[in-house]
Every structure is written in C-alpha cells, then in structure tokens.
A and B are shown apart, each in its own frame.
Chain A
Amino acid sequence: MCTHRRNHTAVFLGVESGQRMLFPFGLFLDHKLGLAYLQSIPIGGPTYVVDAIGDVKEVRNLGRAHIMPSVTLGLGWDLEKHGLPPIRLFGRTQIFWQLPFNTTSLVHFGVLVGVSWRIKGGLN
C-alpha cells in the first residue's frame, strides 16, 4: 500500500520473483520482477458528479483497477553475520507501472526501507 496526500492511495497485491546475492561479510544485493493487482483510489476530498441539468451528487469513489508490473533493485546488510539476531536491514528502489492510465501506463518510482527477521530454518 502507498499513499500520496490529496492525490491517491494505492493498494496492491501481487507476486515477485528474483535473485539475491549474499556476500560472506553480510552485504547482499537483490533484484526482483513483480506483477500485481493495484487499486488506485483518489483521496483528499469527496468526489462529485454533475448531471446534464446541473444537479450535483456526491458519489463514493472506489478508484480504478490496474495491473502493476514492477522491477526492484536492492541492497542490504545481514546482521546475523556479525553475531547478532537474524535481522536484515535493506533498502530497495522500485519502478512500477500503473496501467491503464489514460489508456496507456503511468510510471511510478518507489523507495523501500525495511527490516526483515529470518525465521529459524527459513530460506536465504
């Protein structure tokens, strides 16, 4: 989910697949391709429609459905390599497309910063 004040909130659900390269001293690099369903909802105020005779009606704006392909590149640090709990810090940049947008596609850029905890026996 991401939100842009007085612009839109986007809720998305999808899958990603990629590769991660781990270095012995803790650094890792990864890249992923993704495909998601995205619902983009205008936010910041009510939405109105005006009919042919000028009557105004407020309507619920549930936004529009979109397809969201994405490419993500990232790097991070595995603290477990330094004797700490199995925590990874990561930063990723993502480019994704919202389509259709005015019958073509609108490109977005994203930055993701996070922490992950590898559960015992989990995959790298």
Chain B
Amino acid sequence: MKYGIYIGFCLCLCWLLGSCTPEEYKEGDFFYLRNNKADMPVWVRGNIASETLVIYIHGGPGGTSFSRVGLESYELIEDHFGMVYWEQRASGASQGNVSTDELEVSDFVEDLDKLIDLLNHQYNSPSIFLMGHSWGGGLGTEYLLDADRQAKVSGWIEVDGSHNNLLGDSLSVMWVCEKANDFIANGEDIDFWQYALDWYHSHPAILTSDLEHYTFVRKAGGYYVESANSTTYSMDFLLHSPGSLAIAFNALYTLNNVDISTIDLSNRMQDITLPSLIIWGEHDGIIPVPLAQDAYDHLGTPASDKSIILFDQSAHCPQNEEPQKFATAIIDFVNQYK
C-alpha cells in the first residue's frame, strides 16, 4: 500500500510528461512578424516547393487562422501549394501590447503588406495569392485598393467576405428576421425568436460588437448548415497547438474595439483588376449571398478573369462544409493564374 501511492503518483507524472505533441502541430515553417507592438505568428505549411503561397486572411476581426490548420479543405490545398496561416494583430495567438488606437483597419493593412514583403524575402519572391474569409475579405479588399500593393499579388479569392458591411449587415438582419418569422410560424422557439425580432426593432443599426446578432444568426443556421461542421477547440488544440486561451481573449478584445460596420468598399473595387475568384455559401446568414454578386459586379477585373462559385450545402464557411469542392475551386484557380 505504501509503495502503491508512490507508483500511482509516478504513473500520473509519466502520463503528464509523456503526452506528446501531434505531428501536425510540428510541421511547416514557423516565425513571427513584429510590427507596431504586435508579435504575429506566421505558420507556412504544405507544398512550399511549388513556389506558390496562398495567404489565408482569417475572419473576425479578432478571429484565428490556426484553428483552421488540419481542415480537410486546407490540407488538400497544402498538397499543391504553400498555405500561410497568419494571426493578425490582437487576434488568435498573437502576442504583444496593442492598444485600441492601434487597431485601425490601416494597421491591419500595413501588417499584411509587411507580411507579403517578408514572404517574398523568405521564399524568393513566390507567386502570392490572397484568400480572405469573412472580415478577411474586407481586409484583403482594402489592401488591394492600392495599385502598388496589388502588384505584389497574383490573384484574389474572396470567401463570404465583408467588403461591404453596410449592405451586408442590413441583408443579414433581413435574413434573420425572415428566419425568425418562419420559426414563429412553425411554432419553433416562439419566445426566443420574438425576442430576436424585438431586439432588432430596438437596434435598427447593428454594430460589430453586438453579440446578440451573431447569436441569432448562429441559432438560425447562418454560420453552418450543419452545426457538426463547425470549427471546434479541442483540448488537444489548446494544449498542443500554437493556439492558446489568448484566442478567446483576443476575439473579445478586438471584436469590441474594431468597428467594421461602416465599411463599404464596393464603389472603389473597380481599382482591383487582379484575377479574382468569389466563393460564397448560399445559406450564409451573416454575410448573405447577394454580396457575392455585388463583389463580382464591382471588381475591375475583366469578366474572363473573374468568377463566382456558389456552395449550395454551405452557410458562412464553405471550407468547412464542402471541403473537396472548396479545395478543387482554389487549386484550379491558383493553377490557372500562378
């Protein structure tokens, strides 16, 4: 009995010390971009030898790219090209001491420009594609409005992006209200959906920090058609990946301090003439699908070099919900224009 305690204790210690990091979290190149009080991790994975890099600009503001590592769609893309997972300032696993004054859209654009310069330096001027999802779609669009910056990029991919939040938010509210009325008519969660309708009545203009709106969209299926397709944060991810609890902290901090609700870039997008691919989930409730046509119509890219692909089984995250179709679309586009 005396020695049983010792043995049990030692076994517990061995278990704790022996739990090892999965291989996928050790792969690829890993480094930091330091700019204006932020240390932003950059993780480059996949087929770097292809001399083609796809920079994934994550959503939010305040989201994370690291939670998408290992996603089937991105792993398929990694077989062909290098994927760059960049944690934006005060987002994801980024570290530093960024104040609210240093969270302007122009700060994010400057970071992205420096990231591209850094990648050109590290990988001998590869062909670079930008893939902006959600808020990343707005950030990528803003970045490309400048001709000098646009010249550094071979192609633009917008995935359910927020290039026009004024329009997007109003369409999103309409989308939720329509769903709410359907739920009420069908006798589903009547009190909840009536509360949602009342909330919108008392909040005619929504802000980026209005978490209620996101809750209503999520419950109505506007992020994922099947909730099982959503990105989750497992203990494995929290303990072994480069991600950490800072992901949750940064999400709240940045979401509460970066208001993107007034972004409207549609009328300036004629300055973007890059080959462009617009990908959208037909059931997106947070940035509804009419925004896909809005992007297509306003881009200055010749019609022969821009296209829309809609995903009929997806809401806001087609990379999660239709991974093979998503990967095929990206691979074909990048192969055509790299």
Contacts and interface: CB of A to CB of B under 8 A. Distances in A.
B30 A102 contact: no
Contacts of A50: 33, 35, 114, 117-118, 121
B34 A61 contact: yes
A10 to B, nearest CB: 11
Interface string A64-79: 1000000000000101
Interface of A: 4-8, 40, 42, 44-50, 54, 56, 59, 61, 64, 77, 79, 82, 84, 89, 100-104, 106-109, 113, 115
Contacts of A8: 95
Interface string B227-256: 000000000000011111110011001000
6 contacts: A5-B240, A7-B244, A47-B39, A82-B2, A103-B99, A106-B249
Contacts of B100: 103
Q: Is the interface of B mostly helix, strand, loop or mixed?
A: mixed
A49 to B, nearest CB: 5
Contacts of B49: none
B65 to A, nearest CB: 13
Contact of A7 (B2, B90, B93): B93
B25 interface: yes
A102 B247 CA distance: 13
A84 B2 contact: yes
A42 B250 contact: no
B122 to A, nearest CB: 8
B80 to A, nearest CB: 24
A42 B90 CA distance: 14
Contact of B31 (A45, A101, A115): A45
A29 B2 CA distance: 21
Contact of A48 (B9, B32, B96, B244): B32
A42 B98 contact: no
B33 A48 contact: yes
4 closest pairs, A vs B, by CB? A6-B242, A45-B31, A50-B114, A45-B30
A80 B25 CA distance: 43
B294 interface: no
Contacts of A59: 34
Contacts of A77: 5
A102 B97 contact: yes
B12 interface: yes
Contact of A45 (B21, B29, B97, B243): B29
Nearest to A91: B12
